[in-house]
């Protein structure tokens, strides 16, 4: 976000009166139901479909980059699109972002390997614009007093996408083919008509924008950000395979650290043109809560990238069934949001809500950490519901907590930092946790088979020629049992007695991921408890109270 955009959000909206409410609703439809929803949906729609995609493309162990390439490109571009739109205008930049996103979606649907899919998932270059420019266009068109209502819609879009995404992804993955293409490819092709409709609405209706800025790009900051994030993410993705003390891993970490230092220096030098103005970080509230934001993003996105694998690989659910099993989580998000937002709006107190959400998320992740191959599905569903309720409480008020530490002239950049740091945490979490899982699963599976040697049922299956002669079972009888990690479809046809140790090993490797996620959330809980609660700046509800009583709303004592 730019300083120009920040000043604009803090001054009267000169063009808002010229835009009638009906037109604003149509624009919000284009931004929310089409643009923002499409970008948010693409983060979740492949979660339930990813096993099917990876099996089809023979690259299950490479799936981390299908997620991280999308998220890292969207993170980087989120910081840049606001500046581009300040200079060239919201409408052309937004339509360009839609075009890039749609083109990337088409290429993803045509991918023939996990490597090319990961490259084409760079469609996040467009998604970053869809997310950040939605807030910028809202600021241009809607008076300050009415923005909270529309911002609530924005939050609801992310909640709905979390519900619809896994179910839709599972539905498409469950189709053998549709209109001549594999079913999972339509998880990407579906973006084409949605994106075109959204671009047409914005191109036709968005005309109001206060004066454009004439400042230069923070090119040095952008390049330094890339130099920081790419080596770090590649290091955590390859660390389990190379070894954490391998010279190549250490060099990548070193390059990332150098990039971080260069980015900090570039932001100080760029001053008002910086991607992230450094004065914001001098406020401990802003810094601490964004640190919590990063930890929560890493823990949540990382853990939830593994949960669909547990449901499909360990419990044997179809992609559609796995998507439906995520409904308790997403229902929890929606219900918690309906409770948290009115409470904070009415009282101005957010810290107790935030801490309650973190406690529930800690409970849920450690609950996930005891899931085994024999755990009943209802326990998984309840744990997912608890997780969703915690997420809904936490993320509904995280932005408010961050805003309390931002000066008014940097409010736009402060709002942008919420998505920016959450995405950084989520990107790192997916890369780290999936790498952790695939790094641990080989040894866990081997240990499970060593323990199965004393199981009479397993021994009988090993000695049964009718079982050992089947192709699916030969994978499970191979040395190290590592052959199936890039294509797990053999599990659908394997003898249950031979598959049981394999599934137990998978579950144990996933337990490690969930426990680490729980530890990260515990750290976030401790950090979030440290700052003293500061009442949020007066919004619509508080402004009304001051007008009636002439007094400020009571702060927490």
Is residue 141 within 8 A of residue 13, CB to CB? The reply is: yes
Q: 255 and 187, same structural domain?
A: no
Check which CATH number belongs to the domain holding 207 and give it.
1.20.1250.20
- The last residue of a domain, from among 274, 293, 313: 274
Q: Is 178 helix (H, G, I), strand (E, B) or coil?
A: strand
Could you tell me if 65 and 127 lie in one domain? yes
Q: How many domains does the chain have?
A: 3
pLDDT tens per residue, range 476-503: 776 555 444 556 667 777 788 888 888 8
- The alpha helices in 142-185, defined as continuous H runs, are 144-174
Half-sphere exposure of 548 (CA within 13 A, CB side): 7
Buried b (16+ CB within 10 A) or exposed e, 279-306: bbeebebbebbbbbbbbbbbbbbbbbbb
Of 168, 200, 217, the position where a domain reaches its end is 217
239 and 128 together in one domain = no
283 occurs within a structural domain: no
Same structural domain, 178 and 79: yes
Tens digits of residue pLDDT in 84-111: 776 777 778 888 888 898 898 899 888 8
**Mean of the per-residue pLDDT values for the chain?**
75
Query: Which region holds residue 58: left if phi is over 0, alpha if psi is between -120 and 50, else beta?
Result: left
Is the pLDDT assigned to residue 451 strictly greater than 90? no
156 — pLDDT class (breaks 50, 70, 90): low
- 177 DSSP β-pair partners: 182
Position 366 confidence tier, pLDDT thresholds 50, 70, 90: very high
Best CA proximity match to 85, nearest among 140, 152, 147: 140
DSSP 310: I
Same domain, yes or no: 12 and 108 = yes
If asked whether residues 267 and 124 sit together in one domain, one would say no
Q: Is the pLDDT of residue 446 over 70?
A: yes
189 and 261 within one domain: no
What pLDDT is stored for residue 348 in this prediction? 74
- Percent of the chain past pLDDT 90, that is, above it, reads 7
Decide if 242 is inside a domain: yes
Q: Which one of 466, 483, 507 terminates a domain?
A: 507
| Rounded Cα distance, 41 and 159, in Å | 10
Please name the residue that has the structure tokens 């190290």. Answer: 480
DSSP annotation string for 219-281: HHHHHHHHHHHHHHHHHHHHHHHH-TTSHHHHHHHHHHHHHHHHHHHHHHHHGGG-SS-GGGG
Q: Are residues 206 and 223 in the same domain?
A: no
Q: Is 551 exposed, middle or buried (0-12, 13-18, 19+ CB in 10 A)?
A: exposed
Q: Does a structural domain hold residue 407?
A: no
Using an 8 Å Cβ cutoff, are 414 and 470 in contact?
no
Higher-scoring residue by pLDDT: 279, 457: 457
In the chain, the N- to C-terminal Cα span, in Å, equals 34
More confident call, 273 vs 523: 523
pLDDT at position 13, please?
Answer: 41
* 395: in domain: no
- pLDDT at position 548 is 39
Residue 427 falls inside a structural domain: no
Span 445-470, average pLDDT: 80
Q: Which two tokens stand for residue 207?
A: 């005309």
Q: Is residue 464 part of a domain?
A: yes
Specify the residue for token string 């993320």. Answer: 395
Determine phi and psi for 11, rounding to 5 degrees: -110, 165
Is residue 350 assigned to a domain? no
pLDDT category at 414 given cuts 50, 70, 90 is low
Residues 15 and 209: beta-carbon distance below 8 Å: yes
Q: How far apart are CA 181 and CA 189, in angstroms?
A: 10
For the stretch 2-52, pLDDT in tens is 444 444 444 434 444 444 667 777 777 766 656 777 777 777 677 667 777
Query: Looking at the structure, do residues 160 and 238 belong to the same domain, yes or no?
Result: no
Query: What pLDDT is recorded for position 149?
Result: 59
| 178 and 259 inside one domain | no
Same structural domain, 245 and 138: no
Residue 386 burial (10 A CB sphere; 0-12, 13-18, 19+): buried
Q: Report the C-alpha gap between 394 and 524 in whole angstroms.
A: 11
The answer to whether residue 551 sits within a structural domain is: no
Whether 258 and 209 map to the same domain: the answer is no
The position carrying tokens 């007008």 is 547
Inform me whether the pLDDT recorded for 144 exceeds 60: no
Containing domain of residue 159, as a range? Answer: 1-217
């Amino acid at each position: 976000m730019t300083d120009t955009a920040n000043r604009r959000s803090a001054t009267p909206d000169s063009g808002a009166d010229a835009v009638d409410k009906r037109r604003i609703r149509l624009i919000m439809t284009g931004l929310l139901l089409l643009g923002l929803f499409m970008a948010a949906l693409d983060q979740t729609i492949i979660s339930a479909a990813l096993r099917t995609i990876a099996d089809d493309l023979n690259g299950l162990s490479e799936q981390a980059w299908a997620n991280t390439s999308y998220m890292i490109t969207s993170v980087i571009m989120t910081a840049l699109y606001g500046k581009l739109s300040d200079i060239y205008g919201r409408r052309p930049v937004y339509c360009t972002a839609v075009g890039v996103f749609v083109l990337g979606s088409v290429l993803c649907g045509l991918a023939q390997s996990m490597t090319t899919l990961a490259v084409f998932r760079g469609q996040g270059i467009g998604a970053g614009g869809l997310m950040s420019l939605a807030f910028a266009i809202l600021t241009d068109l809607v008076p300050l007093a009415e923005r909270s209502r529309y911002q609530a819609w924005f939050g609801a879009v992310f909640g709905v996408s979390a519900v619809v995404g896994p179910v839709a992804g599972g539905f498409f993955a469950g189709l053998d083919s549709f209109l001549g293409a594999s079913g999972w490819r339509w998880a990407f092709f579906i973006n084409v008509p949605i994106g075109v409709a959204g671009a047409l609405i914005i191109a036709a209706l968005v005309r109001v924008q206060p004066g454009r800025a004439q400042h230069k790009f923070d090119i040095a900051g952008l390049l330094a950000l890339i130099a920081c994030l790419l080596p770090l993410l590649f290091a955590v993705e390859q660390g389990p395979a190379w070894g954490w003390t391998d010279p190549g891993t250490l060099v990548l970490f070193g390059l990332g650290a150098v990039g971080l230092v260069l980015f900090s220096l570039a932001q100080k030098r760029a001053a008002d043109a910086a991607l992230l103005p450094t004065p914001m970080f001098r406020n401990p509230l802003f810094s601490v809560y964004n640190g919590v934001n990063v930890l929560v993003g890493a823990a949540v996105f990382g853990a939830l990238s593994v949960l669909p694998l547990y449901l499909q690989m360990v419990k044997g659910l179809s992609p559609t069934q796995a998507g439906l099993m995520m409904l308790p989580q997403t229902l929890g998000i929606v219900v918690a949001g309906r409770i948290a937002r009115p409470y904070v709006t009415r009282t101005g107190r957010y810290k107790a809500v935030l801490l309650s959400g973190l406690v529930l998320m800690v409970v849920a992740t450690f609950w996930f950490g005891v899931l085994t191959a024999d755990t009943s599905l209802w326990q998984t569903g309840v744990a997912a519901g608890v997780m969703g309720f915690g997420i809904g409480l936490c993320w509904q008020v995280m932005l408010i907590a961050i805003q309390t530490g931002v000066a008014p002239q940097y409010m736009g950049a402060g709002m942008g930092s919420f998505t920016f740091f959450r995405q950084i945490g989520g990107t790192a979490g997916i890369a780290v946790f999936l790498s952790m899982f695939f790094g641990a699963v080989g040894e866990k599976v081997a240990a499970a088979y060593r323990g199965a040697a004393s199981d009479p049922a397993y021994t009988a299956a090993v000695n049964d020629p009718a079982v050992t002669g089947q192709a699916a079972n030969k994978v499970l009888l191979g040395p190290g049992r590592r052959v199936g990690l890039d294509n797990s479809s053999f599990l659908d046809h394997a003898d249950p007695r031979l598959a049981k140790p394999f599934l137990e090993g998978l579950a144990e490797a996933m337990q490690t991921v969930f426990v680490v996620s729980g530890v990260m959330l515990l750290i976030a809980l401790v950090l979030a408890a440290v700052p003293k609660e500061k009442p949020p700046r007066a919004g619509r509800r508080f402004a009304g109270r001051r007008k009636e009583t002439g007094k400020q709303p009571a702060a927490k004592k």
